[in-house]
Amino acid sequence: MQAPAEVPSHTLPSFTAYLAKVFHFRQGLSSLSDARQKPEISPQAVFQTVLHGFMFRTRSFKQMEADLAQPEFQRHIGAPRSFQDDTLRYSLSGFALGPLEEMLVDANRRLKRNKAFDPGRVRGRIVAALDGIEVLSSYSRCCESCLERHVTCLDGHGQPVERIQYYHRAVGCQIVSSPVKPLLAIEWLRPGEGEDTTAFRLLRRLPELYGSRFFDILLLDSLYAQAPTLKLANEIGWDLVITLKQENRDLYQDALGLFSARKPDFSFTHQGDGQSREVQLWEQCGLPFSSRHQQPVRVIRSDEAVTENHCRRGQIEPETILHRWVWFDTLDAHVFAAKEVWQMGHWRWKQENNGWNDLTQNWALKHGFLHACKHRPKTAAEPVLQPGDEASGARDKPEPIGQIPERNDKTPHPIQNREPVSNQGLRAVTLILCLAFLYCSAFALLHSKLVRRYRLSLREVGRQLYRSLWRLHPPIRAPG
């Protein structure tokens, strides 16, 4: 009996060749830097260790340290020797964020240039979604960038006590209309500001990073149903589809008052994702957004009966749940039908499922890498000028060659003034995670024939790349 043929597998060299050919990966590596002085382990080696660790679905720096014992992996990332997780933490806590963000922007631009975003366009438009997520929280560990809130919990005796909880929250923008759904940028909440303020800052940065027409339609939650959002979108040139949940709004009450007096405009059945949806749509155009901002918008209401099978006591039983959704949009009603807006409104959940939820469940987004890391590189503080130094030009006066500069007891020594750099570890690790998510998704969904033939998941692709790490062979050298 003939043994079954072995299923072909992805290899790390083929993945590296794809990154070099499509994304010019080596060119981006040359710009990486951190705050260390003359390190033995380069920032490029640290970056590639964490990047490959995320692609291998490694959930901790300790496991990455164990993989670094493989000599061929050291050669693959350009490290002269193995190193411990302390080196990763020390380097990443002072990592330069600018080059990492430039690599992410350049990779997204190359994807669009290679028409990776064309499948899934709605009337030729690319759709993006923006939403926030809480990355981590702690009652004990905190850093200078932590947000604070008071949480009531029970103590050991069952009595309610109020404690301070420290947490980090971020806002991200993601392409949701294409098979590859990369994150475009991430902005972190600062102490004392709300999520909407951070979102406006991110929306203003996106045209600077990508240009105003990188995507065309933006999906937003009800938190951003504000006049400044509509003004900013008009200024940049985006169309909006926003969930409407505030029942006390005049727009909400006016629209539902009109809908209650007539039958639905459209009715259809949608099958997908193991569900059956009986959908009824109402549509009303030309309603003013608010009394102070009279921009006309279209409001769409959707009443849905969602039927899904559940297994209870060994038997399959269908269960039907009723949902009501309300959206308003700034799209041209003559071009975009109500059903297309309904579809895009539900696409915002793709950012939850294929974005934040996927990164949390499968990519260790909420692991809490490098939160409140105190072991950080140090940098020299600005020297303290004595009275009259600036006026006399003492700062610009060079010391005579060969002489030791005189110092009095009040002059601070440069070594004594060295302070730890600001902790950038969590932001750096998150940007590397976004790059790993982009590279792995593009390789699997746009390049790999094995994914299409054998219907492999991204997790399985990562496992195959990890297994191929242990099959790497050292290069054969010619005899001297």
Give how far Cα 211 sits from Cα of 174, 286, 338, Å: 15, 30, 29
Interval 379-396 mean pLDDT: 47
Distances (CA, A) of 439 to 18, 51, 104, 355: 9, 10, 10, 14
* Rounded CA separation 127/115 (Å): 14
pLDDT exceeding 70 applies to what percent of the chain? Answer: 87
Residue-wise pLDDT tens digits, 404-425: 444 454 555 555 567 778 888 8
Residue whose C-alpha is closest to residue 440's, from 21, 16, 9, 27: 16
- Residue 305's contacts (CB-CB under 8 Å, 6 or more residues apart) are 277, 278, 320, 321, 322
Neighbour-count burial of 205, counting CB atoms closer than 10 A to its CB (0-12 exposed, 13-18 middle, 19+ buried): middle
What would the mean pLDDT of 384-395 be, rounded to a whole number?
Answer: 44
Which residues are registered as beta bridge partners of 327? 243, 300
Cβ proximity of 254 and 245 under 8 Å: no
pLDDT of residue 375: 67
pLDDT at 403: 45
Domain ranges of the chain: 1-119+424-475
* Residue among 460, 457, 455, 445 nearest 114 (CA): 445
Output the average pLDDT for the chain. 87
Query: How many residues belong to the chain?
Result: 480
